[in-house]
């Protein structure tokens, strides 16, 4: 028996044990959505602390819909430290509760502060756990610790194998039709009588952040009259990375056919990769400096078009209402691409990122640039 199999068995046992222990203190009776006393809710907790930037932005239409249904409620949102900036200045949220993904950051002051935020003013009346793809035991524990009498969650993901539902007492059905992740989140909150309020993302920026982005654009010598096309090639998952050799050909095609400025936008771990991409180019491009995530969002807002992989920056660009062309592999763009007409997804028939052709991308770019006159070549 390998170490991996042993560790998997131990993890399964611990999850089942914890779920059973928590279940002892949870009410056995499940509550039908129609019987939930929603009119009495004054404090609502939304938990989404186990995902990445894009996943959190995808939940903002659901959060906005909850605010519209409960305009006077106190709404807290639990997010991981890395994604918390996506919630700053959100008008639909009263409090952001940060869950540190780095274990070393948990000490007595941070634990005390986290506990205090969850339990302040008697805790929360209701906790909504927005699990759509995977289930996080830590999310479930956070919901229980909030003292919420009603914990809302979907029916399709078990907390542990071979274990009945011990955490959620208001269970929402899963729709198995092809629909966006935005709609899967909205399905969960419909249990509280919440109706959708559009599919646009919410990401509010401060004037200072916009000013910083404009200063960077000015320092790069870019003028507002130019057609600015942002390119972000980063992703933590190589199966989602459009090959550099093909991306270089796409960028050179843009430079050859349009009067445009191509601006490479990078994160802190992508500087070396940018050098590799530039070495493959025939044409000159502009490189933006590494920026804080919210300043980068303000910077992307200045673009006329944005090229990227299927990653968080795609959803940031959508939140900034910037048209995109994005490269997709295994994750179905019908589910994961922002569902707005200004976004075009490019995907190969075999669902491999390496099978996307330069010609496919060029056809998408022609659609997005139809209002701009190509230069004679």
pLDDT tens digit string along 145-171? 999 999 999 888 776 666 667 789 899
Per domain, the residue ranges of the chain are 16-192, 207-368
- The pLDDT of residue 377 is above 70: no
pLDDT tens digit string along 127-150? 999 988 888 888 988 999 999 999
pLDDT at position 211: 97
pLDDT at position 162: 63
- The pLDDT of residue 318 is above 80: yes
CATH topology classification for 207-368:
Rossmann fold (3.40.50)
> Strands across the sheet with 343-347, in order?
286-287, 260-264, 227-232, 305-309, 324-328, 343-347
pLDDT at position 17: 61
Contacts of 103 (CB under 8 A, 6+ apart): none
pLDDT tens digit string along 290-316? 999 999 999 999 999 999 999 999 999
- The reply to whether 207-368 shares the fold of 16-192 is yes
Q: How far apart are CA 224 and CA 210, in angstroms?
A: 14
Higher-confidence position of 23 and 196: 196
Range list of β-strands (E), 81-159:
95-99, 126-129, 150-154
pLDDT at position 371: 87
- The pLDDT of residue 360 is above 90: yes
pLDDT at position 7: 55
> For 177-185, what is the mean pLDDT?
91
pLDDT tens digit string along 42-86? 999 999 988 789 999 999 999 999 999 999 999 999 999 999 999
Task: Report the 10 Å Cβ neighbour count for 58.
Answer: 25
Q: How large a percentage of the chain has pLDDT more than 70?
A: 91
Q: Which CATH architecture fits 16-192?
A: 3-Layer(aba) Sandwich (3.40)
Task: Report the 10 Å Cβ neighbour count for 198.
Answer: 10
> For 22-35, what is the mean pLDDT?
74
Q: Which has the minimum average pLDDT: 17-26, 33-42, 63-72?
A: 17-26
pTM score, whole prediction: 0.91
pLDDT tens digit string along 90-106? 999 999 999 998 889 99
Contact (CB, 8 A) for 93 and 107: no
pLDDT at position 191: 84
- DSSP track, 211-243: HHHHHHHHHTT--TTSEEEEEE---S-GGG---
Q: How far apart are CA 101 and CA 258, in angstroms?
A: 44
pLDDT at position 231: 98
The SS3 assignment for 251 reads helix
pLDDT at position 258: 93
| Residue 104, burial from CB neighbour count under 10 angstroms (0-12, 13-18, 19+) | exposed
Largest distance between two CA atoms of the chain? 73
Higher-confidence position of 244 and 19: 244
């Amino acid at each position: 028996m390998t170490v991996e199999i042993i560790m998997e068995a131990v993890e399964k046992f611990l999850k089942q044990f914890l779920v059973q222990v928590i279940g002892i203190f949870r009410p056995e009776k499940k509550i039908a959505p129609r019987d939930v006393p929603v009119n009495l809710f004054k404090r609502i907790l939304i938990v989404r602390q186990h995902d990445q930037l894009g996943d959190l932005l995808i939940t903002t239409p659901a959060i906005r819909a909850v605010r519209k249904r409960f305009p006077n409620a106190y709404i807290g949102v639990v997010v991981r430290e890395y994604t918390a900036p996506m919630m700053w200045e959100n008008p639909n949220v009263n409090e952001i509760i940060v869950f540190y993904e780095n274990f070393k950051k948990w000490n007595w002051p941070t634990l005390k502060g986290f506990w205090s935020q969850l339990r302040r003013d008697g805790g929360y009346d209701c906790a909504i756990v927005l699990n759509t793809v995977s289930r996080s035991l830590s999310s479930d524990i956070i919901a229980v610790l909030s003292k919420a009498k009603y914990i809302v969650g979907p029916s399709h993901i078990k907390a542990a194998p071979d274990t009945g539902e011990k955490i959620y007492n208001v269970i929402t059905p899963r729709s198995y039709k092809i629909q966006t992740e935005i709609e899967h989140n909205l399905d969960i909150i419909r249990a509280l009588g919440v109706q959708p309020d559009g599919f646009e993302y919410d990401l509010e920026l401060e004037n200072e952040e916009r000013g910083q982005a404009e200063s960077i654009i000015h320092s790069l010598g870019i003028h507002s009259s130019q057609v600015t096309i942002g390119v972000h090639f980063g992703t933590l998952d190589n199966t989602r990375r459009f090959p550099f050799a093909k991306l270089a050909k796409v960028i050179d095609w843009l430079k050859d056919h349009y009067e445009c400025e191509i601006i490479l936008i990078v994160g802190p771990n992508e500087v070396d990769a940018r050098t590799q991409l530039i070495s493959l180019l025939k044409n000159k491009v502009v490189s933006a400096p590494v920026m804080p995530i919210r300043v980068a969002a303000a910077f992307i807002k200045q673009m006329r078009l944005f090229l990227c992989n299927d990653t968080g920056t795609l959803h940031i660009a959508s939140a900034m209402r910037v048209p995109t062309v994005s490269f997709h592999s295994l994750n179905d763009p019908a589910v994961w691409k922002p569902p707005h007409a200004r976004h075009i997804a490019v995907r190969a028939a075999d669902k491999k990122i390496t099978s996307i052709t330069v010609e496919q991308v060029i056809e998408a770019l022609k659609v997005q640039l139809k209002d701009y006159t190509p230069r004679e070549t």
